[in-house]
Structure 1
């Protein structure tokens, strides 16, 4: 049985530091993923910025490096393609020497009501949002177990993993409920190997992806009437990507070393 360290005597700055660790963040070309990659790099991690849009991934990695003394590489990854995910996991090890943190952030959220939902769209959402999390976690855990020094997997869930949300998101809500369960089960199976698995469940945040989705749906806008999370914030504002990135940094660092299997709600009190 792997026992996590007692970190009582370590300083806060040491506990937050990710120096000497390598992280992979999926869907990191923009939005939440990019913000997460930025914070992990700021804490000292070498980061593989993975995205299905290689140009976005490379631009995000360049932005990280430009901020000074930070290591980042932009790579292509399609989380629905196992070979692509496996190649990224191998690249993390070959480029930076280890794979210590894996953040499953990539996801899609097409809006189609149940009666209009096609098999194809349903399968696509589950392939990316749920199967993609499983495959990424599997490939990361295999390499973490082989190295024998543990690691952390962080799954970006959603408040949709705890409740129903806006009409048209049945596939998305189902996929995120599944990821909540998967987080718990993987935590059970991987704990003996020193691999912690945590989830972070954001409320609605202003991102490029959300703005694009709103522009493509003429029946919905970024208003409190259309997005309950805006009206239900108990903290006076809507979320921004860095609100979620800071929660992920906590999970990835030794600040949370005695936690596994939990999903942290970063929701401004929306689900109270």
Structure 2
């Protein structure tokens, strides 16, 4: 069995980073981490698809990226939990800017609720977005990549360990995504598709800050002493929190030919906090 991954050892560095002629689709790409990823991939020359539940926000982000980086860009509405929505949105995007060569599964949620109080509906919704959404995206990407490509799954340090109280569904879903990344790499390698994970620690985005504030309120209401909770900085070895662009640059590495020899790994982008 031949595996269609070229040896790019003789290619100059600039060409290894150049994504010109490729199309990158980013789920949850209208703001926060997804938007930072889309910006860096566009800067590297890729055509961009911003896929988001909020169609207006995705279209606005696409317009801004097109104006800033002068690359073909489109915004589409996509519900990653719905395979039909993923297929329709991808069809629309392919017509506008081309079928994806790079697919970034970034969309995710992390409601905070204790295991005892968490409803079945909340548990299922977390897995629907965080895990089934990755499966739906990777499957659709594989159907559109007959000549190969790259799938990047945004995991989390929660895919390596337990984390704050109230996040049992989130931690479980991210462990599942880390395992899925390995299995997808195995299954899709003969098709020339590399699959990598990127696991950030907490980074301050609009969604993350809102959800973190809500989680702190819930813990306070439950009588948990917040002074005993570790801060986002407590385990950083670089003296600061990571930023969305810190993570976006790791995703760019994964999506580019710089990482050609890699598949199945999940890269920790965590300022050393899981050591």
TM over 0.5: yes
Give the distance between the partners of 1:68 and 1:177, measured in 2 at CA: 35
Q: Deviations over 1:213-250 (max 9, x none)?
A: 134342469x9964544211010001110011000000
Question: What TM-score, normalized by structure 2, do the two folds share?
Answer: 0.93
Q: Among 248, 252, 273, which residue is 1:249 paired with?
A: 252
1:236 aligns with 2:248: no
Give the distance between the partners of 2:3 and 2:96, measured in 1 at CA: 27
Check the 8 A contact 1:28/1:51 in 2, yes or no.
yes
Give the distance between the partners of 1:242 and 1:261, measured in 2 at CA: 23
Deviation of residue 28 (structure 1)? 0.6
Give the distance between the partners of 1:9 and 1:101, measured in 2 at CA: 23
* 193-202 or 63-72, larger mean C-alpha shift: 63-72
**2:55 aligns to what?**
54
Q: Deviations over 1:86-145 (max 9, x none)?
A: 112222322223320000000000000111111000000000000000011001101113
Deviation of residue 166 (structure 1)? 0.3
**2:223 aligns to what?**
none
Question: What TM-score, normalized by structure 1, do the two folds share?
Answer: 0.94
Number of aligned residue pairs: 268
Deviation of residue 23 (structure 1)? 0.8
1:34 aligns with 2:35: yes
Please give the secondary structure, in 2, of the residue aligned with 1:155: strand
Give the distance between the partners of 2:171 and 2:231, measured in 1 at CA: 15
Give the distance between the partners of 1:132 and 1:122, measured in 2 at CA: 14
Please give the secondary structure, in 2, of the residue aligned with 1:230: coil
Give the distance between the partners of 1:187 and 1:48, measured in 2 at CA: 23
1:73 aligns with 2:74: yes
Check the 8 A contact 1:204/1:230 in 2, yes or no.
no
Check the 8 A contact 2:90/2:99 in 1, yes or no.
no
Deviation of residue 74 (structure 1)? 1.1
Give the distance between the partners of 1:151 and 1:29, measured in 2 at CA: 23
Following superposition of structure 1 onto structure 2, how do residues 60-139 of structure 1 map, counting pairs within 5 Å?
Answer: 60-139=61-140
Q: Among 242, 248, 271, which residue is 1:268 paired with?
A: 271
Give the distance between the partners of 1:103 and 1:30, measured in 2 at CA: 14
Task: Specify every segment of 5 or more residues in structure 1 that has no aligned partner in the other structure, as ranges.
Answer: none
Give the distance between the partners of 1:234 and 1:68, measured in 2 at CA: 33
